[in-house]
Amino acid sequence: MAAGLDKIREIAERVAQSSGLELVDLELCGGGKARMLRVFIDKPGGVTHEDCATFSREAGTILDVEDAVPGASYLLEVSSPGLDRKLSKAEDFRRFTGSLVKLMTRDPVNGNRHFEGRLKAFQDGRLSLELTGRKKSKKHEAVEPGAEVEIELANVEKANLVPEF
C-alpha cells in the first residue's frame, strides 16, 4: 500500500503545484466501499472553496485515469488543513515560527512529553519553544510560563497549531 500512496502523493503534489497550492497531507482510510482519500491543501492567505473544487476535479481525473488508488471505488475529500493544522515537515516549523503550538514528543524532554508554547525558532533540525505553562500533574511539576525548551524535530511525535483569536 505504501507504493500506492507514493503514486497518489506524486500526483497530488503535481496538481497542487500547477495550481499554486501546497499539498499539506493526505491519507487513505477505511475499507471496502467506505474508502476515503483525504487530501489537505493550503496556500498563503488560505484556500477557498473554489481551490478545493478545482483541485478535486483535476486530481480526481488523473487518479482515476492512472488507476492510482488501488482497489474498489473511493471518495475523494479535499479541504484546508484547518486552524489547528498538523505540523510535520521542517518547512512547516519554519513557516509557523512565532505561532502558538501544541506538541508531543516520542521521548521525554526535561521529564515531559507534552508541551504548549510559542515557536520561537527552528534551526538545524531543532525547535525552540517558549512555554505557556502546564497544569501540575502527579508525575511532573508545573512548567514555568516563559521557560524555553529545545526539542529535536526527530523527537516530535505530533504537533499542531493552536488557534489564536
SS3 57: helix
Q: What is the mean pLDDT of the chain?
A: 89
Alpha-carbon distance 78 to 128, whole Å? 32
118-139: burial string, b at 16+ Cβ within 10 Å, e else: bbebbeeeebbbebbebeeeee
pLDDT, greater one: 141 or 76: 76
| Per-residue pLDDT at 133 | 67
- State the average pLDDT over residues 37-49: 93
| Per-residue pLDDT at 21 | 96
| Per-residue pLDDT at 43 | 92
- The answer on pLDDT for 139 being more than 80 is no
Q: List beta partners, residue 121.
A: 128
At what angle are helices 2-18 and 49-65 packed, to 10 degrees?
130
For cell 533540525, what's the residue? 125
- State the average pLDDT over residues 4-24: 93
The amino acid that residue 56 corresponds to is S
| Per-residue pLDDT at 142 | 54
Domains present along the chain, CATH in parentheses: 2-79 (3.30.300.70), 90-161 (2.30.30.180)
- The answer on pLDDT for 95 being more than 50 is yes
The beta strands (E) that lie in the chain are given as 22-29, 36-42, 75-79, 100-109, 112-123, 126-131, 148-152, 156-161
- The answer on pLDDT for 137 being more than 50 is no
